[in-house]
Structure 1
Amino acid sequence: MTDVTNDIGGSRGPALFRLIAYSAIGIFMFFVPITVGGKSTIPLDHAATAVVTYARPVAIAFVCLLIAYGAIAPFVTGSWSKNITERVFSVLRVLGLVLTAMYLLGLGPVSFFAPDMLPFLFDKLVLSVGLIVPIGALALAFLIGYGLLEFTGVLVQPVMRPIWRTPGWSAIDAVASFVGSYSLALLITDRVFKEGKYTPREAAIIATGFSTVSATFMIIVARTLDLMGSWNLYFWTTLVVTFVVSAIMARLWPIAGMEHPKDQDAPLPPGQGRFQTAIEAGVEQANAAKSLPVMLRDSFVDGLRMASLILPSIMAVGLLGLLAAKYTPLFDVLGYLLYPFTWIAQLSEPMLAAKALASGLAEMFLPAILLTDAALDMRFVAAVVSVSQVLFLSASIPCVLATSIPLTMKDLLVIWYIRTGLSILVTAPIAWLAISMGWLA
């Protein structure tokens, strides 16, 4: 602290200003809910909503350009042939482009145009993700580029490392996901991983354990399952269950076996306290950071690239998953794999619960749709598990695969299954206690 304060008028003075001012802008954009037009949410969400509301044709055109680029670029650059996963998703992105054109032109089978099919995918997911990721990428430059990551990392290192086996600065990812979105959190994770600040194992823990849907989407789930009367109980239960399961998963295969050369948390310098060291680390990063215009440009380009890969995948994978859930026994079969967990949890109708929760692999919102009229314990467990499972094919899995994190489709499916089973077992006792105590009615 002494070195920093003594150098306020010297070369470190501007760096300290950037650490404080730019980080404050990033925190405000990502983490401070404000009320506009009766809606309380973070400024990034307001910005994306404003574009959709007041410039919808522009938003649709922008998203369509991203989808077209994401579908065509892999074949132009040759990246489509890199591995089997890239081949499959390159074809699926082309299908996503075709489905987008079909939806906007009103062409195709009637079943595709049911409210829970293409309209849901494009209007509720694609438009939102397609705007909030590039806009969020600009704000991301303030959040992670000028020392806040380093400052936070030193402060919370004693908590994050022993419990979740990740550096202290991964707390930023966790908070960004719950108040923003999984796409923003994955954008942060990917950027930090490419900078060498996460090992492959740490990046995998964060991407599959923290990057879940936002609190805003949790409200939709709670409303659908008639749980808004117990919103605080639901929200905090979901938060606790998600992070408890993440701590367990960090110690299980396949994540535990991923490459991890060494913990990258720096020890405290002799004679310095944690807060003093945190400020020093933040100022040092702010001093070494690129200029703001360059940082904004780089972050925005990263955001566009990620959005272009995510959006066509959401359209294609999302529709295939929704059709499978509605018209095939696929998720009934998958339900048998989850039945041991729902039986041990002693839910009211364990087989019905297992089949509904299995559909969450396609789209996290499906269990809520399928269990709208179920018993209270099943509705509560479904509401929590649909969030704490983290991974689903319509959005988050394509998001993870679009990053540089070395996770395969097989890895993600195994992680989804274990996370879902653990989430059921951790949530069920909370549901029993809440019902018996009258907290959940």
Structure 2
Amino acid sequence: MARPPLALTPFRGLRYTDLDVGRALDSGELDAAVLLAPPYDVPGPEEARDLLRSDPHNAAHLTVPYQLDPRGRGDGAGRTSPAVYEGAATRLRAWIDQGILARDPEPALYVYEQTTAAGVRQRGLIGTLALPPASSPAHGPVRPHEEVDHGPVLDRLRLTVSTGAHLEPVFLLYPGGGGAATRAAEDAERLGRALVDTSTADRTRHRLWALTDPAVHAEIAADLAPRTALIADGHHRYAAYQEMRASGCAPGCDHGLAYLVDSDTHPPDLGAIHRVVPGLDTAAAVEAARSAARVEELTGASLPDAERALAGAGRPALLLADPLGRFHLVRDVDAAQAAEAAPSRSRTYRELPTAVLEHVLLPLWGYAEHRTRKVHDDPAKAVAAAREAHGTAVIVPPLRVEQVYAVADRGELTPRKSTSFGPKPRTGLVMRLLP
């Protein structure tokens, strides 16, 4: 059977209007930044609450509705009450009825640009992504690289079904080689003034244009058709798209919302996702780790010192940090023990630091991976979170892009939350109502 094409199609985006929502700048213009949010799984509980407090119409009110409900995820089994999803749906409909959100008048592919405080610029296209037939999702043009957990997939599926909307895009990378899709994105200024031009608290500038020319859409379609894409961020959302497609539960569910970036033109920034193991005594963790690896105490080391030691330790290696900020370097993991712990996996997979953590260290400590807390990119936040949880922080080095591709090329998947590709698209710039 022939592989379906990689297809990103125009749609009528659902966007914030120019009504008086958000905080006004000194110029009197709307500051759209207070309406935007990171992807739903990036902020921790306190950061999510800060987003919800920042503005009554911040997109997080839609994407993390359990933070608004006193029951949260607390039914005793980590499941969110259906009423929480219904609340998000009611909120979305109210915002549309009030004119806070409105669909654009004509279908568009949206050019989205992010420029970080460090001057890194990333541009890509937001559109609706054609999903492979439910009978053969593995033969589609989009490749995952990371395992998913059923709980988050079910969470995103329930939210999508309840709201009848795709609220945030999956982030895809593809080797575009500067083709027509890339040229259309890079030439966005010719479209005139951006629909959105704002900067978020992390000093990243966000600009959005609408590309509405059908002739350009056709050129982009022809350019993308033979290509494949890798999921950089949003594996659970993509899996939820696939489940919706398989169930046929809504019109339009044969497409998802995606942000597609040419990695040849804009190489991604690949960060790490650190772990916090609540209640794990670091001294006991160190002694247990010695049975499978070499463990070195970094006496008197600051966090930057420890990070430099980790960077120079070779692969795989990890840092353990106790609540007082004392560090131990775990390196030279016994290859035979790693092979015994993950016998069906390749050596390439077993040498991933997250694989060592999941298959070797966590079982030694008597913890399952799903019991760990995740902290994106910032090791200082992980150490602080370990202090609050009276546990141990595991500082994970970022994977190299070639490692990710090497695992995906073998048809394997990295452990959950192994990668933090960036810059990640902000939620709230453009959303999609299902037909």
TM bracket, shorter-chain basis: under 0.3
Q: Which structure's residues are more often strand, by fraction?
A: 2
TM-score, normalised to structure 1, is 0.24
